[in-house]
A and B are shown apart, each in its own frame.
Chain A
Amino acid sequence: MSVDTQKGRPDAAAPAAHPAIELKGISKAFGPVQANKDIAIRVMPGTIHGIIGENGAGKSTLMSILYGFYKADAGEIFIAGQKTAIPDSQAAIAAGIGMVFQHFKLVENFTVLENVVLGAEDGARLTPSLSKARKLLTELAAEYELHVDPDALIQDLGVGMQQRVEILKALYRQADILILDEPTGVLTPAEADHLFRILEGLRREGKTIILITHKLREIMEVTDTVSVMRRGEMTATVKTAETSPEELAELMVGRKVLLQVDKAPAKPREMVLNVENLKVVGEKGVERVKGISLSVKAGEILGIAGVAGNGQSELLEVLGGIRNGTGRITLNGEEIDLTGQNSDARTRRARGIAHVPEDRHRQGLILDFHAWENVGFGYHHDAKYNSGWLMDNEALRRDTEAKIKKFDVRPPNAWQTAKNFSGGNQQKIVIARELEQNPDLLLVGQPTRGVDIGAIEFIHQQIVALRDAGKAVLLVSVELDEIMSLSDRIAVMFDGKIMGERLPAETSERELGLLMAGITDTTRDVPVEEIEANLARKDGATP
């Protein structure tokens, strides 16, 4: 590994030192959408530089331009003071830039070694490259705590390990500048901490790191400098030590935001949902939910925490009536049939269950349909939307307009196609549809995934308001922050089982993180390797 020892710590760098990266006047439009507008940024060598911004603020586009994945419409890129053209990823790699994408770019049925070598082979024959890579990986592993079995198949690795392979890929290509796009979205807290330790180690070796995230806490913890993007523009660059989460949030959104959910203590009443020994067999005959029991009372929010793919989705789908299971479930004391014969999504809705599915693109909306058609799903049998043989679309549209106004969908245009709304507004359409049927029980999965801060605030308020109106809410989320701030009780799922229930006031992210990895003895010091091994061992490690 050739490490440029000339680059010291940031405080040691002479004022004359060139920035590792300097962008000037970068603009990029996708059709009518101006993703980047006249962006300027300087990233000093040997620092961790955060870029924060809401969804769609243009962070990923900017980094993709830097990595040669997109071509900028205008602007200049300087690497270590040299003006550099980056027409493609090959040029970016040659300039010493490595990128860890949010959705990993790994070949699932290749080994770690093959993935690392892909595109950086030394010659036409593979064997010499592979043995060289094997040797280098051992060195890198020792140097940066980047331990991965070189012969493991990617599909057998957990996400934390896969991410390490991505970092190794960049280091193998001798990257001096490492860009990470939302790296912690899929990690447990312990894994995230481990990642940050790795990044610290890389910085010590003089590498420059750009960390793209929407999580304020991470920015505050690990970065030296932070740049804020909003609506395609770079609104500010500040020293992390001289700012606060509140200030950053305001810079991101353009107004003051409540970072904490404002809610009174819950007043739980009678039992609404009771689940006993629920089992669900998923695809390929693998049991995904392995006999769980839980209950939700009227007027409380039960949060289900867990790493994606541990049976939470199946739990929601069974309750929502779109998947079969075995066990006993009662709603308001009456049993629900789980075999799918006398009970489906429609009868569940009639009995007072509303379902905001985890994936709004696949299950929540038909993206090519208009807003009013999407809001109308589930109401088709309603007498007031039918006149004789035909549907009364006029009535449906009238009600839709009222609903989307109430839920602050922007633009409030019932004729706009669902795919043309932003993520946050799409989610509001789904939430409007589900909440307006006035359910006894709301099932809600990943309510704020891919949703901007302003809309997060609004959606959280709606969920809390529903609770305060005496309804039961079952919340599934992989965002621990969201679980901690919204839930009145928290259950943690791992490998299809519930590892334990906690009260938000009496637990910590660390404890929940360990439960999420299936470790119930949360008092001892658990090495990150054990967490990863646990996460990788369970059935279907990759979500």
Chain B
Amino acid sequence: MDFNTIIQILDSTIRLATPLLLACLAGLFSERSGVFDIGLEAKMLVAAFFSAAVAATTGSVLLGLGAGIAASMAFALIHGIASITFRGDQLISGVALNFLASGMTVLIARDWFNQGGRTPALMDGGRFQPIDLPFATAVADVPVLGPIYSELLSGHTILVYVAFAMVPLTWYILFRTRFGLRLRAVGENPGAVDTAGISVVRLRYSAVMIAGVLCGIAGAYLATGLAAGFVKDMTAGRGFIALAALIFAKWRPWYALGACLLFGLLDAIGNRYQSIELLGVAVPGQFMQALPYILTVVILAGFVGKAIPPRAGGEAYVKER
């Protein structure tokens, strides 16, 4: 494996980790507030579809992004109403949204575009274009550092940079602001927040809606950045892998970055090496493709150690009598 290959794999790691990272941070906001969210997948999927659909129709990727975020937020709102206002079961609400998103996107796609559940392939204006960082071409020939800068760090779409910037931002919000303090508190002991005179419901809704925005960006990136259009079930379980990453990361932003990069790396390796020889045995490509999913199971089963979720997670808040 030469240096260039490594750079290429890492480059694709960054691109593949981006939707995971956004979804993982979305889950982080929601679950830190005490609302479990297994509907990350659903929100990404509707966002992917609506962003592709609007981008294909209008030719504007920014309108597409807006539509994706709006769709994702609509789903987040449903989850909020079901699990915060009506105190329903958060897992069931999430499962229902996942089914709804999977069926609804294909159904609408068939009706609107007649291409068997896809959107038309997006032209240039309908996609996010790579951004070249300053001097990217100038330093490209510098040994080692040149390619790292111009290949690895430069040349991604704006959404990639947004996703990675979200990590320190999330950390700052969570641990250095009033909102973050209250958000963490409401996920641990909503009674403490309520008796301090703060609305538990409003806090949880804000968290769930933030998750909606982040999933919306993640979905839009899938359809208009990573790919060029929507195809059926294109999230391919990324919402669940993001959840696994979230647990692996113990609900912390910087750990989330590490976890998502790890899953992204496995995905990148799987994509690059369709078959690989290991100790003289040919490992089939399907195995490589399945690697991120297998790792999810392994990590969750054993290597996480003791991950303590937010204590009030999964429970609707009812004032005690």
Contact = CB atoms under 8 A, between A and B. Distances in A.
Interface of A: 30, 67-70, 88-93, 99, 101, 103, 105-110, 114-115, 117-121, 123-127, 129, 169
A92 B198 CA distance: 12
B185 A107 contact: yes
Given A67-B195, A114-B181, 9 more contacts: A93-B196, A103-B320, A105-B189, A107-B185, A107-B192, A117-B181, A119-B197, A125-B177, A126-B180
Nearest to A30: B321
A110 B185 contact: yes
A107 B192 CA distance: 7
A114 B188 CA distance: 13
Nearest to B189: A107
Most buried by B among A30, A106, A117, A123: A106
A297 B145 CA distance: 82
Interface in B146-205: 175-182, 184-185, 188-189, 191-198
A127 B176 contact: yes
30 contacts: A68-B197, A69-B195, A70-B319, A88-B197, A99-B195, A103-B191, A103-B320, A105-B189, A105-B192, A105-B195, A106-B189, A107-B188, A107-B189, A108-B188, A109-B188, A114-B181, A117-B181, A118-B182, A118-B185, A118-B193, A119-B193, A119-B196, A119-B198, A124-B177, A124-B178, A124-B179, A125-B176, A126-B176, A126-B177, A126-B181
Given A108-B311, A118-B185, A90 B177 contact: no
Nearest to A127: B176
A90 B321 CA distance: 19
Given A115-B192, A119-B182, A69 B319 contact: yes
Given A114-B181, A118-B182, A129-B178, A106 B194 contact: no
Interface string B20-53: 0000000000000000000000000000000000
A70 B195 CA distance: 11
A90 B195 CA distance: 8
A124 B179 CA distance: 7
A88 B197 CA distance: 7
Contacts of A90: 197-198
Contacts of A93: 196-197
B185 A126 contact: no
Interface residues of B, number: 24
B179 A120 contact: no
A28 B275 CA distance: 72
Contacts of A109: 188, 311
A217 B179 CA distance: 44
A348 to B, nearest CB: 33
A30 B321 CA distance: 9
A268 to B, nearest CB: 44
A457 B168 CA distance: 61
Contacts of B193: 118-119
A70 B320 CA distance: 10
A459 B53 CA distance: 72
A509 B321 CA distance: 33
Most buried by B among A70, A105, A119, A129: A119
A120 B178 CA distance: 9
Contacts of B319: 69-70
Contacts of B179: 124
Interface in B265-321: 311, 319-321
A91 B181 CA distance: 21
A123 B193 CA distance: 17
A108 B311 CA distance: 9
A89 B176 contact: no
A67 B198 CA distance: 13
Contacts of A126: 175-178, 180-181
B251 to A, nearest CB: 11
A6 to B, nearest CB: 26
A107 B320 CA distance: 17
Contacts of B188: 107-110
Contacts of A69: 194-195, 319
Contacts of A67: 195
Nearest to A33: B321
Nearest to B194: A89
Nearest to A123: B178
A488 to B, nearest CB: 38
